[in-house]
């Protein structure tokens, strides 16, 4: 019943033209209308993602459960915002009552970055196909005067068992291999997407903790905030506009995209976005923070 309802909602979205390949993955996004209609559906589980629970206590989407940023992003080897160890991640999801039978909906209090990071974590443990982001997140939900709850119910734990999506992550040695491959096979479909602001990409403003400013050679800069209408109203731009943005940046149909940023947070939104647009996508979680620390790794400054 759920997927049929979801597909019906998706059908209301303007379809991309026939030349827009790959196909948009509509089930990765739900509208505020759709969610309000399904708040009492026992198969829907809504997760409110934030740094702390202040807003959650003051008011949240009715029935939502709180997932903290620290449960989906931790520090590893001195690099912030890495995926936590599997045991910790699964423990958090079990405590929230998450199962592989739920239709999961994520939202945050900002422009979608934290919810996207939670999506990456859920995709890693095998829940990506049943997880969606709420379009517009809390800002749009509250601005539309939709229902708000304050209840914090006791949650019965689940026995969730992960099914690892090992293809999601790529590590520094593989990125090094990609750079070598591009020198030998320039036509290779692999493309690096740098999700940071332009000033960090060029090296003009390296960013916190970055001693060698710039970017991984050959990476294409596409700032993650360009995906939404505005920070105040973080609705995703239309599928046509998003696909055109990626295509004009250099991600042609058939490209295989590897996203990265400074520490993996912004790259999570680009990972979600590229996957939503139908690209085969992977995430370099160590990102430029890890890459730039290795003195033998090449770094390019300025624009490409």
DSSP string, 90-125: HHHHHHTT--TTSEEEEEESSSSHHHHHHHHHHHHT
Domains within the chain, CATH numbers bracketed: 2-143 (3.40.250.10), 169-293 (3.40.250.10)
Structure tokens at 279: 């690209």
* pLDDT per residue rounded down to tens, the chain (304 residues): 433 344 333 333 334 444 545 689 999 999 999 999 999 999 999 999 999 999 999 999 999 999 999 999 999 888 899 999 999 999 999 999 999 999 999 999 999 999 999 999 999 999 999 999 999 999 999 999 999 999 998 899 999 999 999 999 999 999 999 999 999 998 899 999 999 999 999 999 999 999 999 999 999 999 999 999 999 999 999 999 999 999 999 999 889 999 999 999 999 999 999 999 999 999 999 999 999 999 999 999 998 8
Contact 176, 236 (CB under 8 A): no
169 CA to centre of own chain = 13
CA distance 48 to 55: 10
Contact 246, 270 (CB under 8 A): no
Nearest partner of 142 among 48, 214, 14, judged by Cα = 48
Q: Reduced to 3 states, what is the DSSP secondary structure of residue 121?
A: helix
Longest dimension (CA), the chain: 58
pTM of the model: 0.92
């Amino acid at each position: 019943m759920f997927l049929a309802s979801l597909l019906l909602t998706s059908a209301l979205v303007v379809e991309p033209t026939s030349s827009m390949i790959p196909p948009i993955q509509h089930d990765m996004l739900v509208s505020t209308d759709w969610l309000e209609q399904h708040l009492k559906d026992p198969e829907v589980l809504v997760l409110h993602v934030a740094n702390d629970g202040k807003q959650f206590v003051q008011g949240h989407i009715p029935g939502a459960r709180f997932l903290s940023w620290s449960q989906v992003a931790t520090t590893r080897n001195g690099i912030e915002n890495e995926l936590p160890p599997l045991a910790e991640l699964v423990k958090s999801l079990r405590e929230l009552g998450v199962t592989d039978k739920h239709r999961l909906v994520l939202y945050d209090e900002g422009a979608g970055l934290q919810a996207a990071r939670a999506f990456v974590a859920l995709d890693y443990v095998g829940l990506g196909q049943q997880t969606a982001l709420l379009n517009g997140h809390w800002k749009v939900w509250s601005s539309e005067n939709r229902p708000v709850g304050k209840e914090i119910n006791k949650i019965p734990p689940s026995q969730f068992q992960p099914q690892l999506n090992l293809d999601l992550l790529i590590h520094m040695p593989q990125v090094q291999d990609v750079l070598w491959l591009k020198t030998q096979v320039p036509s290779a479909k692999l493309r690096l997407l740098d999700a940071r602001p332009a000033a960090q990409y060029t090296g003009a403003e390296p960013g916190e903790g970055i001693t060698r400013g710039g970017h991984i050679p050959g990476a294409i800069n596409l700032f993650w905030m360009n995906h939404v209408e505005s920070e105040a109203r973080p609705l995703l731009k239309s599928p046509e506009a998003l696909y055109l943005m990626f295509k004009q940046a250099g991600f042609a149909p058939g490209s295989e995209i590897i996203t990265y940023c400074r520490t993996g947070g912004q790259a999570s939104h680009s990972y979600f976005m590229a996957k939503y647009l139908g690209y085969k996508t992977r995430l370099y979680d160590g990102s430029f923070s890890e890459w730039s620390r290795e003195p033998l790794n090449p770094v390019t400054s300025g624009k490409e």
